[in-house]
Structure 1
Amino acid sequence: MKRTSIATVCLSGSLTEKLTAAARAGFDGVEIFENDLLASPLTPEEIRARCADLGLRIELYQPMRDVEAVPHEVFTANLRRARHKFDLMRRLGADTVLVCSSVSPLALDDDGLAAEQLAELAGLARESGVRVAYEALAWGRHVNTYDHAWRIVEAAGHPALGTCLDSFHILSRGSDPRGIAEIPGEKIFFLQLADAPLPAMDVLQWSRHHRCFPGQGGLDVAGLLRHVLDAGYGGPLSLEVFNDVHRQADAGSTAVDAHRSLLLLQEAAGTAELPPPAVPTAVAFAELRTPDAEPVTALLRALGFTRTARHRGKPVDLWERGEARILVNTAAPDRREGTRLAAIGLACPDPAAAARRAEALHAPVLPRRRAPEDAPLDAVAAPDGTQLFLLATGESQLPDWRGDFTGLPDVPEPARGTRVDHLALTQPWHHFDEATLFLRGVLGLDAQESVDLADPYGLRRSRAVASADGSVRIALTVGAAPADETVHAAHIALATDDVVAAARAFRAAGGRLLRVPGNYHDDLAARFEFAEGELETYRDLGILYDRDAGGAFRHCYTETVGRVFFELVQRDPGHQGYGAANAPVRLAAQHTGRLLH
């Protein structure tokens, strides 16, 4: 396992808080960002001592900007500035400084001058026991690719001058990382790692606001890491992530997420082994916690669920319809939160192995009170607090947890043909990327690309993760919107073979379906061809429709109870989506709160 490091700019809070969070998360070292040091009341010596007490090594001090390829009088001033920096680093105990390629309008397009001045800077640094790591910024005025920066370092030929490779700067420009093999490993002084989604925007804006930890974006950071390690790099794997969310979120949870990303990155690069994932094979149950069971049970009855069992020692009822199972828990809920999705049961082939992987990735098994006769179920907490129970499957594919429930007298056999198609979880604003990495890394689910959904009050991001066969699907969403329980709710999507029949049965049983504006169905008529009377049926029942190369997707929504609602889904076998094209209509309808009786 490689040594790990994180730049203090990745975390929120004071420098002391950042150092503490990094140490607790398991990092070996830190990059000290200059702004953090300047704002700290601690002296460089006190910061050095604090790091030593926490077991952290100061791997890098950064950044020095606009140093090279400048007129003589400007470079003279730069050397004066550098002397102060190098003296500070000596007091701090840092031996490597990051020098970014110049963005100054005074910089000259002259590689020879850049090499000459960087060699002189490195000579001054060496007198103070410091090395200079030269990095190409993706938006550098004249030097903006790693191979260009390396050519300048090579031409300078100074032992105290090397290069810093940054995955974002390399991959955001589409540079080929295979060229890293041409750089001697001992001349790669530092490696900074970051991922990012793949939006179309200015690279500087992209870098300053939208970087994320490896595995949370769309860049091939693992592939780049393999090239760097193959070149012989022996330094730490360090994260440098500029992200508006991280700057506001709790430093402790961000640091844990960051360290988890490096563990998974090393696994992906083939340089470290973790307990293998035990990918879940089914959603065994969804648990609703509520202060008032009546609205929930009325909704479940209308959906065709039957109360089949009750926990032997807890106020928890089991409701079933086919393969779909809902637990209704009334044990001391928080009335302020109302009804909410509190836990998910996931059937997996080896729960113990899944728990070992979770613990290796900083997601320890939750303590749980249980009676001696209760099944020993392991659960881990997702970033948003949802409990994920890891359940064994037997020959019948029914999880052992059902042995904790006793049957109710005179209960009819539940209706067949229904299962959970997917779960949709609305994430707190600061947990969206963390949740994606958690579900990918801990559970071994695959992630689709994120999409933006139009909400009446702004944009919402959505990203789905799923098992390869689609037996477990979880859609994550986040977005700024008013404090409206309807749009901040989780929902449970139930698969059915006939959504029209299911919607009619639900309505006949007293259920209320979300009212969809007539303009939506008018537009459907322009976009798709339907059989005679089909579109009128969809309009009457509020059924939404989408189609892709894999087939059609028909779905409708129930009323919202507390922070939970249900979706009825008829999915053609080849359709892989979740109705994203219809989400703006659904969100707007939920905002207005109009329901069809």
Structure 2
Amino acid sequence: MPPSIPLSYATCSLGTPSTPLEKKLSLLSSADFTGIELAFPDLLSYASTLHNREIAPTDYESLTSTARSIRTIAEKQNLTILMLQPFSNFEGWPRGSPERDDAFARARGWVDIMDAAGIEILQVGSSDTPLDKLSHSGGDGDGLRKDIVDDLRELCDILAARNHKMRVAYENWCWSSHAKTWKEVWEIVDAVDRPNIGLCLDTFQSAGGEWADPSTQSGLIGNVERGSNGEKELSRRFEASMDELAANIPKEKVYLLQVSDAYKPKDGPLSGEVVDGTATRGRWSHDFRPMPYDGGYLPIEAVGAAVLKTGFRGWFSMEIFDGGEDGKGNEVDLGEFAGRARDSMGNFIENCLKQV
């Protein structure tokens, strides 16, 4: 594997928030990862331990002091804290609404945390807030898109005012209410037109959104049968989408690629209903995402190869949520698991490079 491709790992993908953060970082360093995505639940958990009391998500003074401690731990383990994640349901709230005020208050608090921890990238997931709760300025979808673009511009400017190296990595969540695909988030990023916004691309979000569907019996969009002409056409369309990504995304606008696969749920299709406010693919994302070559079925190498074809050779980051094929979780040896993840990532990159 080319040494020019640095490897990261999301802290939320090893153990649980109750797993000591020092242990997570030590194991990831021992497994030869060189960067981490710092997950906000892990920051909260470590802050509560450090301050010996429950820390609220808005207690930015305590979280900022905790971030300084995490920076020291990471430096001792020779780990770059690549990104703070996941910043969600930020963009598109109605102007003057308390939700929009809260979104920007959160943004400023998270920027304080980033500054203290030496983090340059803020991951923003495309909002899954229902459309009927978002802005409708102009009375149409164009009005909402304009407000989303304006919100992200303002966020970019907040980051740039603090530190010119700080950037926004915008990610398509395949259950988003307004931007489910890489193309939709790229159109938004292109319209924002700021030097400090780019893409967080993700093998699961693209393949899981454009090719697979956990609510169907076959696990594929349209419930087309495996091996059928329908699957061949579905795969052809997905391959065309990846060709378009490779041809149109400038390599400097890719900030990282998150890597995971997905299980076809063993107990049958997931309900197509929204459950506890979470759409089907959101529930699938939370519990059914193994590392590559560990039982998943998505065409993830097509995504990795497309990203490499842009010329990108930056961070590949493992973000997995492996609850097993039944989604109920299983006990693992975390050190062994981290080592397998490192080997899996190496194999994934090697296989993707063969297709470039």
Q: Which TM-score band (shorter chain)?
A: 0.7 to 0.9
- CA deviation map 1:494-529 (0-9, x unaligned): xxxxxxxxxxxxxxxxxxxxxxxxxxxxxxxxxxxx
Secondary structure of the residue that 1:162 maps to in structure 2? strand
Alignment-derived partner of residue 523 in structure 1: none
Residues of 2 paired with 1:5 and 1:101: CA distance? 22
Alignment counterpart, residue 207 of structure 2, candidates 168, 171, 179: 171
Amino acid at match of 1:57: T
User: Is residue 180 of structure 2 the alignment partner of residue 144 of structure 1?
Assistant: yes
Alignment counterpart, residue 169 of structure 2, candidates 133, 150, 164: 133
Amino acid at match of 1:87: D
Gaps in structure 1 of 5+ consecutive residues: 273-597
Structure 1 residue 188: deviation in Å?
1.1
Residues of 1 paired with 2:344 and 2:245: CA distance? 23
Question: Which protein has the larger Cα radius of gyration, Structure 1 or Structure 2?
Answer: 1
Secondary structure of the residue that 1:173 maps to in structure 2? helix
Amino acid at match of 1:227: A
Alignment-derived partner of residue 33 in structure 1: 39
- CA deviation map 1:176-211 (0-9, x unaligned): 322212111111122111111234433222211110
Structure 1 residue 145: deviation in Å?
0.9
| Structure ranking higher on relative contact order (CA contacts 8 Å, 6+ apart) | 2
Amino acid at match of 2:290: C
TM alignment of 1:169-568, pairs within 5 A:
169-174=205-210, 175=238, 176-181=241-246, 182-199=248-265, 200-201=269-270, 202-216=280-294, 217-244=296-323, 248-270=331-353
Secondary structure of the residue that 2:90 maps to in structure 1? coil
Question: Considering only aligned residues, what root-mean-square deviation do their CA atoms show, in Å?
Answer: 1.7
Amino acid at match of 2:118: G
Alignment counterpart, residue 53 of structure 1, candidates 70, 76, 79: 76
Residues of 1 paired with 2:330 and 2:182: CA distance? 27
Alignment-derived partner of residue 89 in structure 1: 114
- More displaced 10-residue stretch of structure 1: 157-166 or 68-77: 68-77
Gaps in structure 2 of 5+ consecutive residues: 51-65, 136-140, 211-237, 271-279
Structure 1 residue 234: deviation in Å?
3.1
User: Is residue 197 of structure 2 the alignment partner of residue 161 of structure 1?
Assistant: yes
Task: Check the 8 A contact 1:223/1:269 in 2, yes or no.
Answer: yes
- CA deviation map 1:69-115 (0-9, x unaligned): 11112323321211110011111111001001111232244211111
Residues of 2 paired with 1:90 and 1:248: CA distance? 35
Percent identity, aligned pairs only, is 31
More strand by share: 1
More helix by share: 2
Structure 1 residue 271: deviation in Å?
6.2
TM alignment of 1:74-85, pairs within 5 A:
74-85=99-110
Residues of 1 paired with 2:318 and 2:134: CA distance? 28
Residues of 1 paired with 2:293 and 2:202: CA distance? 16
Residues of 1 paired with 2:155 and 2:125: CA distance? 13
Alignment-derived partner of residue 152 in structure 2: 118
- CA deviation map 1:372-428 (0-9, x unaligned): xxxxxxxxxxxxxxxxxxxxxxxxxxxxxxxxxxxxxxxxxxxxxxxxxxxxxxxxx
Alignment counterpart, residue 129 of structure 2, candidates 99, 104, 109: 104
Secondary structure of the residue that 2:321 maps to in structure 1? coil
Task: Check the 8 A contact 2:289/2:323 in 1, yes or no.
Answer: no
Secondary structure of the residue that 1:39 maps to in structure 2? helix
Structure 1 residue 124: deviation in Å?
0.5
Task: Check the 8 A contact 1:100/1:136 in 2, yes or no.
Answer: yes
Alignment counterpart, residue 14 of structure 1, candidates 20, 30, 34: 20
Residues of 1 paired with 2:148 and 2:199: CA distance? 14
User: Structure 1 pair 247/27, CA: closer, same or farther in 2 (3 Å)?
Assistant: farther
User: Structure 1 pair 247/118, CA: closer, same or farther in 2 (3 Å)?
Assistant: farther
- CA deviation map 1:567-590 (0-9, x unaligned): xxxxxxxxxxxxxxxxxxxxxxxx
Residues of 2 paired with 1:101 and 1:5: CA distance? 22
Residues of 1 paired with 2:72 and 2:330: CA distance? 25
Residues of 2 paired with 1:82 and 1:28: CA distance? 27
Task: Check the 8 A contact 2:124/2:168 in 1, yes or no.
Answer: yes
Structure 1 residue 230: deviation in Å?
1.2
Task: Check the 8 A contact 2:255/2:315 in 1, yes or no.
Answer: no
Residues of 1 paired with 2:281 and 2:105: CA distance? 31
User: Structure 1 pair 248/14, CA: closer, same or farther in 2 (3 Å)?
Assistant: farther
- CA deviation map 1:413-457 (0-9, x unaligned): xxxxxxxxxxxxxxxxxxxxxxxxxxxxxxxxxxxxxxxxxxxxx
TM-score (norm 1): 0.44
Structure 1 residue 247: deviation in Å?
7.2
Secondary structure of the residue that 1:133 maps to in structure 2? strand
Residues of 2 paired with 1:107 and 1:242: CA distance? 29
Task: Check the 8 A contact 1:131/1:160 in 2, yes or no.
Answer: yes
Residues of 2 paired with 1:271 and 1:263: CA distance? 13
User: Structure 1 pair 247/35, CA: closer, same or farther in 2 (3 Å)?
Assistant: farther
Task: Check the 8 A contact 1:170/1:177 in 2, yes or no.
Answer: no
Structure 1 residue 164: deviation in Å?
1.0
Task: Check the 8 A contact 2:87/2:124 in 1, yes or no.
Answer: yes
User: Is residue 93 of structure 2 the alignment partner of residue 70 of structure 1?
Assistant: yes
TM-score (norm 2): 0.73
- More displaced 10-residue stretch of structure 1: 26-35 or 218-227: 218-227
Amino acid at match of 2:242: P
